[in-house]
Structure 1
Amino acid sequence: MKHPQSSSVRRMARAAATALLSLGLLAASQGAAVAQAKKTEKGDKVHAARPANIDRNGVLILIRSTLLALDQANKTGNYTVLRDLGSPNFQANSAAQLGDIFANQRKQALDFGAVAVLEPQLTLLPQIEPNGMLHMAGFFPSVPMQVNFELLFEPTNRQWKIYGVSVNLTSGAPQAPDTPVAGQQKPDEAAPPPDAPSMTVQPKKAAKP
């Protein structure tokens, strides 16, 4: 017997998967939503993802049009165009619901305008997932903030339409370590006492998309 709220629960889960936002606090939701989008129907045979047959210009158009539409929606507070660019599953979210999903980006006045002129660096080359989705990820090496993205597109009427959008910003500028790197000791310098704390500089971890 199906629970009376099962339909609404499935719709809420689909809404979360189709327009997700990752800004630190929502990183876990990002991974869960992308994983959900990759699942195949129960009982289907799972195949490995395969490279997408799409040229470089087509990839750039999809990435830039999506991120610029999100940028303009955040700046104007009007998510109608972003919604219209999405697949029917993405459009299950109203423009008002998309506004709620991306509220934190809008409040922080984040600017993705750099994607219009910079070349994206892909960390995941375009590939077709077992469920037929076009999946890609990468970043725009801008400063001071680097734009990281992960996108899913659903085939609709022989076109790729937005299904999932994940965007987060990380520092794109080189950062100095908290403590200076210990250099070679000069002959006339006094050696530090035995109980002096060591100065170890940890390498900066690469930002995740």
Structure 2
Amino acid sequence: MLTPRFFQAVSLALVLCLTSQPGSAQSKPDDKKGPQPAQIDRNGVLTLVRSTILALQHANQTGNYTVLRDLGSPGFQQANTAARLSEVFADLRGRNFDLSGVAVLEPQLSLLPQIETNGLMHMAGSFPSVPLQVNFELLFAPDAGRWKLFGISLNLGQSGPTPPEPSPAVQPMPPKAPAKSQRLPSTKKPPQPTQP
């Protein structure tokens, strides 16, 4: 379990993006109910996840969130100015945490890419790293035949499972006395010498 000491949530309000332009992220109305698996290959997923988090890393390094904003979908751009993004990610930037490791680490998806009923592609997962794990949740909107950032939630947590609490000391049992060895009488007759 992650404790507040190891867990710092940094998120860009997804609700703002979702409600800013009703219907702007929808591709086509879908009669199917519920989320559907997204038709995207592994390389496409890796490209979207890594490029998005690296864009955030570059914005944090430079303090310039214009490119991150410009890479987003129209709904993302309308809901967020570069100054607002700077405010949202001020804590992460202040902690000077380097996110560039996502370029070489393999993400572990906890939510496979799926198309929500509003047409957005949704995915979530983590990059297990040391000393902190990078957890992410991303939304992408279709725009001119490409997926563009619509929402991002990023938090840092403790990497890997925490070790169990040490158990109370167990008193050693006194050693047992060695068992006496008893020789059982043999039931075999000794071999008889043979005469020539």
TM class by smaller structure: 0.7 to 0.9
Structure 2 residue corresponding to 1:182, chosen from 158, 168, 172: 168
TM-score (norm 1): 0.68
**Residue in 2 aligned with 1:59?**
45
Whether contact under 8 Å (1:127, 1:134) holds in the other structure is yes
Q: CA RMSD in A?
A: 2.9
Query: 1:125 and 1:73 mapped to 2: Cα distance?
Result: 27
Matches within 5 A, 1:116-155: 116-155=103-142
Which of the pair has more CA radius of gyration? 2
Judged with a 3 Å threshold, the aligned counterparts in structure 2 of structure 1 residues 180 and 154 are, in CA distance, closer, same or farther, namely same
**Residue in 2 aligned with 1:195?**
none
Could you tell me which amino acid in structure 1 is paired with residue 46 of structure 2? L
Whether contact under 8 Å (2:38, 2:113) holds in the other structure is yes
Q: Could you tell which deviates more after superposition, 45-54 or 56-65?
A: 45-54
**What SS is found at the alignment partner of 1:152?**
strand
**Residue in 2 aligned with 1:101?**
88
Return the structure number with greater relative CO, CA threshold 8 A, min gap 6.
Answer: 2
**Residue in 2 aligned with 1:112?**
99
Could you tell me which amino acid in structure 1 is paired with residue 61 of structure 2? K
Aligned length: 160
Unaligned runs of 5+ in 2: 1-6, 24-29, 175-196
Q: CA deviation at 1:88?
A: 0.5
**What SS is found at the alignment partner of 2:96?**
coil
Whether contact under 8 Å (1:144, 1:173) holds in the other structure is no
Could you tell me which amino acid in structure 1 is paired with residue 81 of structure 2? S
**Residue in 2 aligned with 1:207?**
none
TM-score (norm 2): 0.72
Query: 2:88 and 2:109 mapped to 1: Cα distance?
Result: 25
- The percentage of aligned residue pairs carrying the same residue is 54
What stretches of structure 1 move > 2 A for 4+ residues in a row?
A: 32-37, 173-177, 182-185
Judged with a 3 Å threshold, the aligned counterparts in structure 2 of structure 1 residues 155 and 36 are, in CA distance, closer, same or farther, namely closer
Higher percent of residues as helix: 1
